[in-house]
C-alpha cells in the first residue's frame, strides 16, 4: 500500500498477528522505555514479546485476558490500520505490559478501582504518544501501513470519545435523560450515525458515575509527580479513590 493510505491492505487479517508482535517488540517497547516509564509499572526484564493470539470477533475483552492461556486481541474486522494501531498497538499494548509487570496481582475479576487505575495508565499513554507524534519526537515504524497524520487523527478522536462518554454519564445517569433521547441529541449535534455512539457507549451504560470517574482518575494520575506515580504503580492493586483524590 502507498504510505499514508488508509485503504485496508490485502490479507490484512492474516498480517495482524505478525504486525502486532513486531510493533510491540520493535516499536512500542522502545518508546515506553525511552519516554513513558514514569506512567507504567516496571516489568521483569525477561519479557521481550507480547505473547498474544489474535482471533475472530468474540465476547472476550481485555478484562478477561487472564482467564486464557494467552492474552487475546480481537481481529480488526473492518478497522483501518490507524484504528488498529491506536486501539491495539498503543492502548491494548499498555494492558499487555501491565499484565507482564503485575503478574498474579492482575486479578481475573477487576474491581472498579483496579479497572480505573489500569485504564488511567493506558489513557495517559495515549496522550503521551499523541504529544510525541505531534512533536515528531517519535515516528511510526516505516513498515506500518499508515501515516502519522492518520494515527494522530485517530488519537484525537479517541479523546473526543471519552468526552462523549462523560456527556452520557452526566445527561443520562445524573440528569435522568432517556438514553434514546440522548442518542438522538448527540447524533444531531455531531451529524454522525446513532450506531456510532451506541458502540462506544455500550460498555459503560448503566454504570452511574463511571464515565466521570474514568476521566477524573486519568487526569489526576497524569497530574501527579513522578514519585507519587511510582509509589502508586508499585502498590497496585491497593488503589482506592480516597488517597488518590487527596494527593
pLDDT, tens digit, 9 for 90 and up, residues 3-58 = 445 778 888 877 888 888 899 989 999 999 999 999 999 998 777 777 766 665 44
Residue 34, sorted as left (phi over 0), alpha (psi -120 to 50) or beta, turns out to be alpha
Q: Which three cell numbers stand for residue 179?
A: 438514553
DSSP symbol at 146: S
74 versus 127: the higher-pLDDT residue is 127
Q: Is 54 helix (H, G, I), strand (E, B) or coil?
A: strand
| Side-chain half-sphere CA neighbours of 225 within 13 A | 4
Average pLDDT, the chain: 83
Q: Which of 93-102, 123-132, 169-178 has the highest mean pLDDT?
A: 123-132
pLDDT, tens digit, 9 for 90 and up, residues 176-192 = 999 999 999 999 998 88
Q: Which of 9-13, 97-101, 121-125, 241-245 has the highest mean pLDDT?
A: 121-125
Q: Which three cell numbers stand for residue 166?
A: 462523560
Question: Residue 1: pLDDT above 50?
Answer: no
Is residue 198 within 8 A of residue 183, CB to CB? The reply is yes
Separation CA 85–CA 195 (nearest Å): 22
Question: Residue 155: pLDDT above 90?
Answer: yes
Domain ranges of the chain: 12-246
Q: What is the pLDDT of residue 37?
A: 95
pLDDT, tens digit, 9 for 90 and up, residues 94-105 = 988 998 899 888
Amino acid at each position: 500500500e502507498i504510505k499514508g493510505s488508509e485503504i485496508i491492505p490485502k490479507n490484512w487479517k492474516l498480517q495482524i498477528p505478525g504486525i502486532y508482535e513486531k510493533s510491540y517488540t520493535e516499536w512500542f517497547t522502545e518508546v515506553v522505555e525511552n519516554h513513558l516509564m514514569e506512567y507504567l509499572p516496571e516489568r521483569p526484564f525477561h519479557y521481550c514479546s507480547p505473547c498474544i493470539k489474535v482471533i475472530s470477533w468474540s465476547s472476550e475483552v481485555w478484562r478477561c485476558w487472564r482467564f486464557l492461556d494467552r492474552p487475546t486481541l480481537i481481529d480488526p474486522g473492518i478497522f483501518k490500520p490507524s484504528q488498529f494501531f491506536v486501539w491495539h498497538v498503543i492502548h491494548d499494548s499498555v494492558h499487555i505490559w501491565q499484565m507482564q509487570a503485575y503478574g498474579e496481582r492482575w486479578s481475573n475479576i477487576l474491581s472498579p478501582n483496579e479497572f480505573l487505575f489500569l485504564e488511567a495508565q493506558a489513557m495517559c499513554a495515549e496522550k503521551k504518544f499523541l504529544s510525541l507524534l505531534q512533536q515528531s519526537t517519535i515516528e511510526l515504524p516505516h513498515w506500518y501501513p499508515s501515516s502519522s497524520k492518520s494515527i494522530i487523527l485517530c488519537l484525537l478522536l479517541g479523546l473526543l470519545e471519552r468526552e462523549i462518554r462523560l456527556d452520557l454519564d452526566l445527561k443520562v445517569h445524573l440528569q435522568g435523560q432517556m438514553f434514546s433521547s440522548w442518542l438522538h441529541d448527540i447524533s444531531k449535534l455531531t451529524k454522525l450515525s446513532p450506531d456510532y455512539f451506541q458502540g462506544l457507549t455500550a460498555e459503560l451504560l448503566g454504570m452511574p458515575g463511571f464515565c466521570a470517574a474514568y476521566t477524573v482518575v486519568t487526569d489526576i494520575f497524569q497530574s501527579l509527580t513522578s514519585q507519587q506515580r511510582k509509589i502508586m504503580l508499585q502498590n497496585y492493586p491497593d488503589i482506592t479513590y480516597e488517597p488518590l483524590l487527596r494527593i
